[in-house]
């Protein structure tokens, strides 16, 4: 309450909560020499804790709308169901990478997991559809966990939240796992 979270001041009576954006994966892959094509944000159906298919998508090209915020407002997620039963709908993002970059992506994903970021849900095979989404020739589709899923879960539980997605940066070392609070 009354503290700063990045550049945002948390109003009195409110709690600030920061999440890790899936764009972090893009940045780390780019730093490793892997270009990513961010295709869209969507609502991903999960069955038995595994990605099944996208139920809704909003492409990033030509859109100033944040897909995750739109889906949260439309109450299209069932994040809490996925957490408790493995079945439901979560926010996810779709990227494409060059197929030849797979080993670099796998190595980067392993390093991310070591620091607690489990953002890559699924990586397909070269030129093969992923979650019913076609992928370009010599490309690999990647499904990333959406950073706004905790906010969606809060909204599902009836907690009123003001969302400011992609509104700033915070040094990763400053973040605290919510389970430790």
Report the CATH number at residue 96: 3.30.70.1360
For the chain, the first-to-last Cα distance in angstroms comes to: 15
Report if residue 37 sits inside a domain: yes
Please tell me the predicted confidence (pLDDT) of residue 97.
Answer: 98
pLDDT tens sequence for the chain (181 residues): 568 877 888 888 888 877 888 888 989 999 999 999 999 999 999 999 999 999 999 998 877 888 999 999 999 999 999 999 999 999 999 999 999 999 999 999 999 999 888 889 999 999 999 999 999 999 999 999 999 999 999 999 999 888 776 667 777 777 777 777 7
* Domain that includes residue 102, residue range: 20-152
**Is 113 inside any structural domain?**
yes
Identify any residues that bridge with 45 across adjacent strands, giving them in sequence order: 53, 89
Instruction: Note whether residue 53 is domain-resident.
Output: yes
Which pLDDT score is estimated for 1? 54
Q: What pLDDT does 11 receive?
A: 85
Distance CA 68, CA 14 (A): 22
| Domain-located, residue 174 | no
- Per DSSP, the three-state class of 47 is strand
Asked whether residue 88 is domain-assigned, the answer is yes
User: pLDDT of 43-81, one tens digit each?
Assistant: 999 999 999 999 999 998 877 888 999 999 999 999 999
142: in domain: yes
Q: Write phi, then psi, for 174 (nearest 5 degrees).
A: -80, -20
Instruction: Return the sign of the alpha-carbon dihedral for residues 10, 15, 18, 19.
Output: negative
Residue 97 placed within a domain: yes
Residue 12 lies in a domain: no
Q: What is the mean pLDDT of the chain?
A: 90
pTM of the complete model: 0.90
Tally of domains in the chain: 1
| Per-residue confidence (pLDDT) for residue 176, from 0 to 100 | 76
């Amino acid at each position: 309450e009354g503290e700063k979270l990045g550049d945002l001041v948390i109003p009195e009576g409110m709690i600030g909560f920061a999440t890790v954006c899936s764009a972090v994966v893009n940045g780390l892959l780019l730093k490793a020499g892997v270009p990513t094509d961010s295709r869209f944000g969507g609502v991903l159906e999960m069955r038995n804790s595994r990605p099944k298919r996208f139920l809704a998508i909003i492409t990033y090209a030509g859109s100033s709308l944040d897909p995750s915020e739109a889906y949260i407002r439309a109450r299209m997620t069932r994040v809490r169901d996925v957490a408790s039963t493995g079945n439901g709908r979560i926010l996810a993002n779709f990227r494409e990478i060059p197929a030849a970059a797979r080993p670099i992506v796998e190595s980067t994903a392993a390093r991310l997991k070591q620091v607690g970021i489990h953002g890559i849900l699924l990586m397909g095979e070269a030129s093969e559809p992923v979650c019913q989404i076609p992928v370009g020739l010599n490309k690999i589709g990647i499904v990333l966990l959406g950073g706004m899923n905790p906010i969606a879960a809060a909204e599902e539980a009836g907690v009123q939240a003001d969302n400011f997605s992609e509104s700033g940066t915070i040094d990763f070392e400053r973040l605290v796992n919510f389970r430790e609070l």
